[in-house]
Structures are given as C-alpha cells and as structure tokens.
Amino acid sequence: MSDTPLAKIIRQKIKDEGPMPLSEYMGLCLGHSKHGYYMTRDPFGQAGDFITAPEISQMFGEMVGAWLMDTWQKMGSPSDFILLEMGAGRGTLMSDILRVAKVLPAFLEAVHVHIVEMSPILQKAQEYSLQVHDLKNAPQWSSCIESVDFNFPVLVIGNEFLDALPVDQLVFTDAGWARKFVKIDENDTFRLYEECEYLGRSQLEKALPQTLFKPNLGDVFEVSLEQRKISDDLIKIILKQGGSILWIDYGFKSAGAYQGGDTLQAVKKHQFSDIFAAPGENDLTYHINFSDLADYALSKNVVVHGPVSQSDYLTSLGIEHRAEILKRHATKGVSCSIDAELNRLIGKDEMGDLFKVIAFTSDPNIDLAGF
C-alpha cells in the first residue's frame, strides 16, 4: 500500500470517526477536492490508466450523434433542447457528436449543450475540445445537476459515468444483510470489514431490489445510492420536460439476483490493482447492474429500451458501414487501424459484449433506434 496524501487523510478520518462506508472511501478516492483521482489528472489514453470508447475511435461519437439526431426528430424536432452529458472526460464524445451533427443544421440551431463535470481539470479539457464548434447557444458547465436549469426538453448521455459513482457492497451474513466498511487494522493498513452495522435501520436496505431472493451466505450485492439519486433526478426531469436518457457502461444483465457479486476494482496503467493500493492515485470502478437500473426506471414510470450489448447497439446504428466509408480513401495502414478500432468497439471479446446500452424515454410512442 502506498502512503499517498489522501491515504493519510482517510486514515485520520477513520481514527477520528470510526469505520468508513465503502462508498465514502470510493467517493473520496475519486472526488476529494484536492487529492481525488479525477480532480488531479487526465487519466485517458495509452499513456494514462485506461481508454474509453470515444477515445478509441471517432466512429463511437458519430453513432451516438446519429442516435441523438434521430431521437430529436422523433421528439418532433423541438426548436430548443438541452443536450446534457454527464461526466464528459476530455470532451471527445461531445465534440464528435457536434461535428457529425453538421449534417442536420436545425439540430445545431436548437441545441443547448450542457456538461455536468466534477473535475476542474477535465472541464478545461472539455472547453478546449468544444471551442472548435461555433454553436448558436454557448455550451455550459456545472459540477452537479442541481445547478442546471432544465427549461427545455432534454437528451441526456453518459458513457462510463455511472461506474464512477461511489458504490456500497452489501453482504448476506447469518444475521442478515451487512454493509462493508473500511477500517484500519493493527498494522495501520486498510481492511474491509462487514460486521459493524446491520441494515435494519439503513436506507441501503430499501435499495435492495425486489428480485433478490434466497441469498446464500456471503452473497454480495452492490448498490450505489448516488447512482439511484442521479437516475431519479434525471428521470423526474425527462418526465417533466420530455426527453430521453442514454447510459453506456460496462456491466451485466442479471438473470439471477447476484450475478455481479463483488466487481469493485482499481485500475492503474491499464492493469488491475488493489482498491487500497494507492488511494487517490488509482481509478476505482465497478460493473453496472443493468437489470437493477432498468427495474428502478420502470418503477418510476419511464419507458425502458434495452439493455442491449454495445456491439448490437453500434452495429444496428451502422458502425460497420461507417468504417467502410472511412476506409475508402485511407492508406493500408490507416485502414488496418480502422478495422482494429472497430473490433475494439464491437468485438465480442473486446468491449462489444461487456459494455451495455440502455435508454429511458418519457414518451411511450417513440421507437428508439439501436434497441
């Protein structure tokens, strides 16, 4: 374990206040105002810690852009609408969307781009990426959705955003569901601990989905109350203003209750690491439970589309055709790179199956493309 500045802060907090819920630990590791992982760096690309789909190829953003234009038209082409991206990284996805949207000038006339981004460093990168786009309505940024003025219909997108929201782990013990906490052992080392607070009183118990039945001892269920809150807020907004939400992330559809189990992982330089290895220096992330996300949205009376695999979504939007067009005037080397990027996005052993896509709409009559 490396003794990072954030490790010292967390250790002191645990000494002062007692064991820390896992979600609080993850929230500090990623979002601590001074030492949080996303607050101090641009982690993307080969030289960074991981690579996301928009950074692999422009084709990803082009397909999402085509989906947005189609959905906007199916909503009746409102003359003003908000295109909200949650957690936009370097701004590459939004930039590719706005570039491809040049084919539909009315869309660009109507769009009010808004990005919710907690990292000041990444917000700067996003401003830089978007400055090439001469939009009628200047893009806006907020650090949370509470400060966005939702006065028009809304299209929300988020790629690998949900997996960055702090998660809790609940474990089924012989005394019922327990919540995992971080404590310090006699060697001053961080340890996970699941004994100290059973869930009878906790709101986390309410977060356990109805589909959970007959748990076995040791079964782990991951739940993110922050994810629930953001889903809830955005669903209320689309029900009020009209619109859709598109989430793309890695995760699973669970046929049984506990298919996911413990999926929390730390990532550094494209390798997995221990979640306590270097607090604030490693990315922490987990697999999204898409069945739970869908069930929750259904209970809030929106229409749920999917989840489908990223491969099926991008293929049905025409990514293979787009790759062929890009290759027409490409050199042999560039052509090979396009094939490799395409394979990375839709290959079954690559992101194609692991990543899922789900959408929620306020209007039951909209037949969304891609699902």
Ligand X SMILES: C[S@@+](CC[C@H](N)C(=O)[O-])C[C@H]1O[C@@H](n2cnc3c(N)ncnc32)[C@H](O)[C@@H]1O
Residue ranges that bind ligand X, judged by CB under 6 A: 38, 52, 54-55, 87-89, 93, 116-119, 122, 159-161, 164-165
Find all residues with CB under 8 Å of 254, minimum gap 6, and list them.
211, 260, 289, 291, 292
Q: How far is the CB of 242 from ligand X (least distance, A)?
A: 24
Distance between the two ends of the chain, CA-based, in angstroms? 44
Q: What percent helix, strand, coil does the chain show, rounded to 5? A: 40, 25, 35
User: What are the structure tokens assigned to 336, written together?
Assistant: 């090979």
* Pick 20 or 88: Cβ nearer ligand X: 88
Find all residues with CB under 8 Å of 316, minimum gap 6, and list them.
369, 370, 371
Q: How far is the CB of 116 from ligand X (least distance, A)?
A: 5
Q: How far is the CB of 92 from ligand X (least distance, A)?
A: 6
| Other CB atoms within 10 Å distance of the CB of residue 333 | 8
* Maximum C-alpha span of the chain: 65
Residue nearest to ligand X according to CB distances in the complex: 87
Read off φ and ψ for residue 260, nearest 5 degrees. -75, -50
User: What are the structure tokens assigned to 168, written together?
Assistant: 């809790």
Query: How far from the centroid of its chain's Cα atoms is residue 336's Cα?
Result: 30
* Pick 126 or 309: Cβ nearer ligand X: 126
* Pick 118 or 354: Cβ nearer ligand X: 118
Q: How far is the CB of 101 from ligand X (least distance, A)?
A: 18
Q: How far is the CB of 283 from ligand X (least distance, A)?
A: 7
Scanning the structure block, which residue is given the tokens 């781009």? 113
* Pick 117 or 168: Cβ nearer ligand X: 117
Q: How far is the CB of 99 from ligand X (least distance, A)?
A: 16
* Pick 230 or 368: Cβ nearer ligand X: 230
* Pick 159 or 309: Cβ nearer ligand X: 159
